[in-house]
Each structure stands twice: as C-alpha cells, then as structure tokens.
Structure 1
C-alpha cells in the first residue's frame, strides 16, 4: 500500500470526525452550519478510479448520515457533487491545465478555484436542504439555508485548501 492510500484514508476518517464532533455543533444564528466534509470531493486525486471515488464519496456521506441521523441526505448530495466534479473541472480548465497525474486544486487560479468550490458547495447544499425540507412550501427556508450555510462552507473550504495544500 502506498503513502497516497494512507493520506486518503486519514482524510476520510478525519473529515468524518471533524464534521460529527466539531462542525455539526456549530450553528451560527441558529441555522448556519458548515459542511466541511465536502473537502473530500474537492481534494480527492483525479488520477484515481472514478467508480471507487463515487463509492467512497457515497460511503462518506452515509457515515455522516449515520452519525447525524439524517436518513441518507448527505450521501445523496455528496454523491451528486462527486459525479459533477470531473465535468466541472474539464469545463473550467483547459486540457493543458488538467493533467490528471499532476493536478491539485491548489494549483488552480483564484477565480477558477472559487468558482469550482462555489458550484459544488451550492449544488450540494441545494440537494441537501431540498431533501431535508422536501416541500415547495419551504422554498424560502431552503434558499436561505443553502445561501448562508453555503457562504460559510465556501469560506472555510477556501481557507482550508489554502492553508493545508502543498505549494506550487
């Protein structure tokens, strides 16, 4: 087993623990809650097998659901953004920039990185909160929670990527 596998496993377990122990207990203004476990999808290596990545993303969401007692909504929303990640990256970056063996999100230009994080976070949150509230009568609550939790999550993810990613 190589070093990369241990790094991925450490991130997997670490993000579950961070989300469940720390961030699930952060409720700014009563309803703003960061979802830091999305970093798994953002940082997972592109050169890996896509089927395994989708399975592990679903498993991560299922673990979060298990600890949060949320019935599969995290698994569904994380699986969606895991599926959307590669098409999004190929549309944001030129083929030259998207070298599957050497690519890392920290090497992306600021605007493209912010766009990448924002699209995936808001996609995740709109599915998550839509499944949680599951009613058109709650559309205002869904939009409010998606926007406010999304902004907070984007800021935390962007700072985390800048602090903990290898330098160019």
Structure 2
C-alpha cells in the first residue's frame, strides 16, 4: 500500500478549509461491475453471492443499479451496481482494518492509493480498484470494482450526499 501525501480531493462548496483534524464521519462508496445476462440473475444469484463475501455495504438499503445507457459501445453483459455506506466518526484504526478485510475478501489484487494520516484536515482517504483479467466465471462474476473510503463532508455541512449514485434504480 502506497501512502500518497497529497491525493486530489475537492472540498464541497461552502466547507471552509481547515488546519484542524477532520472529526466527522466517513463513507464507503462501492462501484462494482458484474458479468451476467439479466437483472433477474444479478438480483437472485450474483448479489447474494457478493454479499456472502463482503456483507451488505449498503446498510440494508439495497444496491443501486446503473444501466449506463449513455455509453454507446459498452459491454451489455456488464451490470454496474453501486452502494454507499456511512460510518459515524470519529476515525479509528478499526475502520481501516475492517475496510481492508472487506476489500481483500473480494479480491487480493487491488491497486490502492491512500492518505493514511488521521490528523489530516480532510480526513483519511483510500481509493481502491481492481480489474479481473480474465473475468471470473464463478459467481459473483465481478470483473471490475472501485471502492473509496473518505471523509463524509456532507454530514459536516448538515446535508445529503451530493455523490452521483447511478440511475437510482433499486436492485435488491
């Protein structure tokens, strides 16, 4: 794991820059591509298998499905599911340990960028991604995933997350 001192991370509008350590909550954003032929199979077979490995990162609210109609030449057998999990702050090392255990239960081949200084004014930040080559045939057939652990600035500002989470269609 490579620690990066200055990862690009933008503060939301209206949140003043600070030198004080971030003391708010965190959130984990999952974006997972699964190869399957239908939404029914995704719902009935792949999502339960995925959740058996990593748990329910959406906190019981269900995965969101992004049909990505706007991408012309995309592989139609790839289904993208997205979840957001909020973790109340302040940061403890157990948050990172649990996060890394969850990642590695899905795949051991992650590319990880991280700012691992909990006293940083923008909080701890980890961005992990992997791409399976060749795609697995077993369930869940996860071929691509990106997961981010970052400070939840929207709670600090008293609002809802402005993060784009797909088309908003519930899948489970």
State the TM-score, normalizing by the size of structure 1: 0.29
Q: Choose between structure 1 and 2 for higher RCO, CA contacts under 8 A separated by at least 6 residues.
A: 2
Higher strand content, 1 or 2: 2
Larger radius of gyration: 2
